[in-house]
Amino acid sequence: MTDFDTTIPPTASPEVEFVSQINWNTGREIDPVPQSGLQRSYVRDYARTLEDGGFDYTLVPYFSSSPESFVLAAAVGAVTERLKPVVALRPNHTHPLVAAQKLATLDQLTEGRAVVHLISGGNDAEQRKQGDYEPKDRRYARTSEYIDLLRRAWTEPAPFSHEGEFYKFDEFGPGFAPYDAPIPISIGGESDAAYQVGSSQADWFAYNSGASLEQTRKDFDRVAAIAAAAGRPTPRFWVTFRPVIAPTAEQAWEKAYDYAVRLKTGSVHLAKALGVDPASVRSEATGQRNARSYAEQERYDRALWFGFTRATGGRGAASAGLVGTPETVAAAILDYIDAGASVVSIKGYDTLADAQDHGRHLLPLVRQELAHRKATGQRGPLQAQHLGYADDRVAAAADRAAELAGAGL
């Protein structure tokens, strides 16, 4: 602790907001049962759990087989007072002027809580299910034009016409306006095209796959440089993790490896149950390919773990774990806040139970540290006291859990 520098890094974000994905039924990745239904009471309870736990946003995801994200976001908004729905939207299935109208309506209904996350598409097979045959670079070019039209639809005071590469219309507007300001637009991805479009046009830049602190700092610098060259402010940085917390390091690592074993088995069984070749659902997204390369080493920095990525082969959603006691994982999140992250997405594998635990035990620790910094102008002791892998006892606990998991992983 004597070597710990209490100086707040110049890159550190002074505040952070937390995101967690909404779940629409009791299905879990660690116990996959093919379910197509939406359980209304579960959506209500899950959304209120997030709000009561101190989460600021909930991501409303979109897949070709999922509930429709606008409708689900409206339901979330109706059963909460503060929680902000982040609508995942693929430009290929909703015209930008219609999307602007829907988003503004949601923003009015929720009194300014709407956010949109644009998904250009990381899996060609999934895109083709809804008729999108554009290659990846063309998808990002379409997203670029889409963003311009969203903002114009929200702000133009008079009718306007447009003829672009992907969209053409005459004398639209004025459009239906958001509640009190343009709606924040988020873009994610790690391809060159994603960096160019997201950095120069988005309000948030999202990282879904996880990366080491060293790489994260480089990535943030890259975004900032592109934004500056475009004459835009640097977007907010949004990072995503799958925390596994428990009262002791031993319990946390046993839980993490248990989840990983179940994910490995479950992801294959679920794909087969749906009649899909497991190998075919591996994402072509650059971020997921990067995550699979990280999985070769697995452990990074304080508590970052890519065992979930190795277990699933990079299939499915975000899989970068943070493993340890609540204090260790909070310290790891603070490391990313120190690098510049101001939006942090966390979602557990035990869905509702993990959301409750994160709200009770994890979010308050991060917020307490940020309050300490605001009051004193210095970093507190949390990061100095909870070292993660640098503590031999923690590393030994991880090693023992790996041995117990054995061939299962």
Q: In total, how many domains does the chain have?
A: 1
**Can you give the length of the chain in residues?**
409
Longest Cα–Cα distance of the chain, Å, equals 67
Reference 238, options 6, 21, 387; nearest CA is 21
In a domain, 8, yes or no: no
**Within-domain flag for 243:** yes
End-to-end CA distance of the chain: 36
- Pair of tokens at residue 358: 């994160």
The pLDDT value recorded for residue 316 is 57
Which residues constitute the domain of residue 215?
Answer: 17-408
pLDDT of residue 286: 52
This prediction has a pTM of: 0.92
Tell whether 1 is covered by a domain.
no
Q: Which two tokens stand for residue 197?
A: 């479009």
DSSP classification of residue 171: E
Give 1's pLDDT tier (boundaries 50, 70, 90): very low
Going by pLDDT thresholds of 50, 70 and 90, the confidence category of residue 273 is: very low
Beta pairing class for 304-305 and 299-300: antiparallel
pLDDT surpasses 80 at 296: no
**Amino acid 277: pLDDT:** 54
pLDDT at 75 over 70: yes
- Mean pLDDT over each residue of the chain, to the nearest integer: 90
pLDDT at position 267 is: 64
**pLDDT band with cut points at 50, 70 and 90 for residue 345:** very high
Is 361:396 a contact under the CB 8 Å cutoff? no
Instruction: Give per-residue pLDDT as tens, 136-154.
Output: 889 999 999 999 999 999 9
Question: Could you tell me if residue 216 is inside a domain?
Answer: yes
Q: What is the mean pLDDT of residues 367-378?
A: 98
In this structure, is residue 290 part of a structural domain? yes
Residue 261 lies in a domain: yes
Q: Quick check: 69 and 96 in contact, CB under 8 A? A: no
Is the pLDDT confidence value at 180 over 50? yes
Q: What are 15-71's pLDDT values in tens digits?
A: 999 999 999 999 888 887 666 689 999 999 999 999 999 999 999 998 777 899 999
The DSSP secondary structure of 288-346, one letter per residue, reads HHHHHHHTTT-EETTTEE-HHHHHHTTBSS---EEEE-HHHHHHHHHHHHHHTEEEEEE
CATH assignment at residue 139:
3.20.20.30
State percent of the chain over pLDDT 70: 89
Q: How many CB atoms lie within 10 A of CB 378?
A: 11
9, part of any domain: no
137-143's contacts with Cβ under 8 Å and 24+ in sequence apart are 137/193, 139/91, 139/92, 140/189, 140/191, 140/193, 140/194, 140/196, 140/197, 141/165, 141/166, 141/193, 141/197, 142/91, 142/92, 142/166, 143/91, 143/118, 143/187, 143/197
Is there a domain that residue 145 lies in?
yes
Question: What pLDDT is attached to residue 312?
Answer: 85
Position 158, amino acid: A
Q: Which of the two residues, 280 and 248, has the higher pLDDT score?
A: 248
